[in-house]
Amino acid sequence: ATPTALMVGTGRGAQLGILIRGPEVLESTLRADTIVLDKTGTVTTGEMTLQDVVTVPGEDRDEVLRLAGALERASEHPVARAIARAAAGAAARRDEELPAVDQFANRAGLGVRGMVDGHAVLVGRPRLLNGCSQPLPAELLQVARDAEADGRTAVAVSWDGRARGVLTVADAVRPTSAAAVRELRGLGLRPILLTGDNAAVAATVAAQVGIAPDDVIAEVLPEDKIEVVRRLQESNRVVAMVGDGVNDAAALAQADLGLAMGTGTDVAIEASDLTLVSGDLLAAADAIRLARRTLATIQ
Ligand code: ADP
Ligand code: MG
């Protein structure tokens, strides 16, 4: 009887838009007591848009966006795509193209650097500019903090050792995320928000979806996400995780149950046990409920 029930379970899963790697996956849905949720692209849509360009006094707004956007064209990060898109649009309106990038380098979880139009450009988290000879002035640090307190991501821009401005980028919480958090809790799972983004943005998103401040883990570098999962496991938690990004793959593989957003990257999908095709977090609750019900039928 066992194989038939499993096939029913996985067939129903496909109808619900859930792809299950194999029957052995179902078992961990019973034991999971914690669910780690990646923020960007999982709890939020990850489709960011540029909101604001604020420059250091004396700097030209168009030039800040042009050089930052040119550099960000080389990155696939959602923040980068928002900046590159806005800059390309502005350039097109001037009948120009964005300049090419040389010596591009990505610093995961921090930002990017490269040569654009003969300038050594840095774009990323404000602390990426710490070594600059002319760092962000107090007014711009305040702009960055205000944006973050408001749930937006602040990105600093410098070139040739001088801070030039701050760009703010906003992401939207998926409309179903708060309901999903409620349902997951109803299934006996404790939701934890995990992100590389700063603590203020993380706290704002957590409040919007009903995750307690104590269950927010922010400013985690991509390579350390796996450590967060391991530590939870060491404290005897059975950990499910939902993620979408390249930076989530190792942690998804480490989790007792890895769930990937179907809208996410291939690496995340390959590292996971389950794929939520629609990229709707409610499907995570559906998947766990279905898996448990399937197991109940066969046991
Ligand atoms: P998350 O865990 O939320 O998916 P990441 O670890 O990928 O986020 O990135 C953490 C933070 O680093 C971002 O919120 C952003 O502030 C900054 N960052 C990363 N890559 C870039 C980039 N290409 N341009 C600007 N900022 C970046
Ligand atoms: Mg993500």
CATH architecture type of domain 2-46+173-298: 3-Layer(aba) Sandwich (3.40)
Euclidean distance between CA atoms 109 and 20, whole angstroms: 30
The neighbour count for residue 139, using CB atoms within 10 Å, is 12
User: H helices within the chain, ranges in order?
Assistant: 2-15, 26-31, 61-72, 78-93, 138-149, 177-186, 199-209, 225-234, 249-254, 266-271, 282-298
203-261 pLDDT tens trace = 999 999 999 999 999 999 989 999 999 999 999 999 999 999 888 999 999 999 999 99
Of 192, 197, 221, best ligand 1 pocket probe by most atoms within 8 Å of the beta carbon: 197
Query: Class of the 49-170 domain?
Result: alpha beta
**CA–centroid distance for 194 within its chain:** 9
The pLDDT confidence band at residue 10, using thresholds 50, 70 and 90, is low
22 CA to middle of ligand 2, Å?
25
Name the pTM for this structure.
0.83
Q: Residues of CATH 3.40.50.1000 domain(s) within the chain? A: 2-46+173-298
94-150 pLDDT tens trace = 999 999 999 999 998 899 999 999 999 999 999 998 888 899 999 999 999 999 998
- Does the annotation count 62 as an active-site position? no
269 CA to middle of ligand 1, Å?
20
Output the ligand 1 site: residues, CB below 6 A. Answer: 38-40, 72, 75, 77, 79-80, 109-112, 123-125, 153, 155, 195-197, 222, 245, 247
Euclidean distance between CA atoms 143 and 53, whole angstroms: 10
Q: Residues of CATH 3.40.1110.10 domain(s) within the chain? A: 49-170
Tokens of 237: 């938690």
The pLDDT confidence band at residue 24, using thresholds 50, 70 and 90, is confident
Residue 3 has pLDDT above 50, yes or no: no
